[in-house]
Amino acid sequence: MTSMNATEAAATAVPYLAVNNVEVIYNHVILVLKGVSLQVPQGGIVALLGANGAGKSTTLKSISNLLHAERGDVTKGNIEFKGARIDQMTPNELVRRGVIQVMEGRHCFGHLTIEENLLTGAYTRKISRTELRDSLDKVYHYFPRLKTRRSSQAGYTSGGEQQMCAIGRALMAKPEMILLDEPSMGLAPQIVEEIFEIVKDLNGKEGVSFLLAEQNTMVALRYADFGYIMENGRIVMEGEAKELATNEDVKEFYLGLSGEGRKSFRDVKHYRRRKRWLS
């Protein structure tokens, strides 16, 4: 009964970030997202999981509106942030509203120093020098490693440092919501752990909400509250992170854990057939 009330409340209250039945087409012909709906509550960490090419990055880019640069278009559905439509906004407007994406593969500005990289993150903010200094110090507080590398060109730093730089750069914009794409890519497990700890820390202390796309399902589910699993441009499963982590099929296909040896694909439930809201 109580859970019923909770779902009702969630359905009636204006969600923080809501992606409603979004369809994305690249180059006018390639259908990549086939009606994706998801929600991120305020102050939550939501994981978007799935294999290569499932549409995780595209989902994030449709939110941050970096799709246009790749000739992608949101052709159906809408995206709302704090009750306002954001799907037609430029990335610049979105960053000013507090939604920022940390792109897959870090994308630091290689020829700029770490500190300059961080400073570009504050581009949209009209703030004084001292405020800028404070923001920098805050980032250095969360990422002490960056402070020691502050004057090296970002292109010469390690992958982990670049990932920290990219997250730190996003923090400089004072975001409310960070779309974090594949933070663990190409990093040593220890560094991945370090980065996720910082994400958790930022979530707790700064109140930043996260939507993170990950292939590293095990780690992501450990740090997230809620998870969505994507396949072929659709969301096929969703649930509390803890539940997903113990789900047999998730275990089998994303965690590679299974008690009874290899299973044939034929024996697996076909989640993709499940119809979702409006699609």
Partner 1 sequence: MGFFIETLLGGLMTGVLYALIGLGFVLIFKASGVFNFAQGAMVLVAALAMARFSAWAIELTGSMLFGNVIAFFMSVAFMIALAIAIERLVLRHLVNQELTTLLMATLGITYVLDGLGQTVFGSSVYTIDVGMPKEPLFLFQDVFEGGILLNPDDLIAALVGAALVAALALLFQYTKVGRALRAVADDHQAAQSVGIPLGRIWVVVWSVAGVVALVAGIVWGSKLGVQFSLSTVALRALPVVILGGLTSVPGAILGGLIIGVGEKLSEVYLGSFVGGGIEVWFAYALALLVLLVRPEGLFGEKHIDRV
Q: Considering only the stretches 46-54, 77-85, 101-109, 208-216, report the one whose residues sit in contact with partner 1 under the rule CB under 8 A.
A: 101-109
The site string for partner 1 over 105-134 (x = CB under 8 A, - otherwise) reads: --xxxxxx---xx-xxx-xx----------
> What is the C-alpha to C-alpha distance for residues 40 and 16, in angstroms, rounded to an integer?
6
The footprint of partner 1 on residues 257-276 (CB under 8 A) is: none
Among candidate residues 195, 176, 205, 221, the one with its CA nearest the CA of residue 84? 176
Are 103 and 181 in contact by the 8 Å Cβ rule? The answer is: yes
Does residue 200 belong to the site contacting partner 1 (CB under 8 A)?
Answer: no
Nearer to partner 1, 57 or 203 (CB): 57
Does residue 155 belong to the site contacting partner 1 (CB under 8 A)?
Answer: yes
> What is the C-alpha to C-alpha distance for residues 250 and 229, in angstroms, rounded to an integer?
9
Report the residue from 37, 39, 101, 203 that binds partner 1 according to the rule CB under 8 A. Answer: 101
Does residue 68 belong to the site contacting partner 1 (CB under 8 A)?
Answer: yes
Does residue 22 belong to the site contacting partner 1 (CB under 8 A)?
Answer: no
Does residue 47 belong to the site contacting partner 1 (CB under 8 A)?
Answer: no
Q: Considering only the stretches 13-21, 84-92, 202-210, 266-274, report the one whose residues sit in contact with partner 1 under the rule CB under 8 A.
A: 84-92
How buried is 199 (Cβ within 10 angstroms: 0-12 exposed, 13-18 middle, 19+ buried)?
buried
Strands 72-81, 234-240: pairing is unpaired
Helix (H) or strand (E) holding 9: helix 2-12
Report the residue from 153, 215, 232, 279 that binds partner 1 according to the rule CB under 8 A. Answer: 153
Does residue 160 belong to the site contacting partner 1 (CB under 8 A)?
Answer: no
CA distances from 188 to 160, 167, 192, 272 (A): 8, 17, 6, 32
Tell me which residue has tokens 């994406």.
Answer: 101
> Minimum CB separation from partner 1 for residue 176, in Å?
14
How buried is 99 (Cβ within 10 angstroms: 0-12 exposed, 13-18 middle, 19+ buried)?
buried
Report the residue from 25, 36, 66, 237 that binds partner 1 according to the rule CB under 8 A. Answer: 66
Does residue 70 belong to the site contacting partner 1 (CB under 8 A)?
Answer: yes
Are 154 and 165 in contact by the 8 Å Cβ rule? The answer is: yes
Nearer to partner 1, 152 or 215 (CB): 152
Residue ranges binding partner 1 (CB under 8 A): 64, 66, 68-70, 90-92, 94-96, 100-103, 107-112, 116-117, 119-121, 123-124, 153, 155-156, 159, 169-170, 172-173
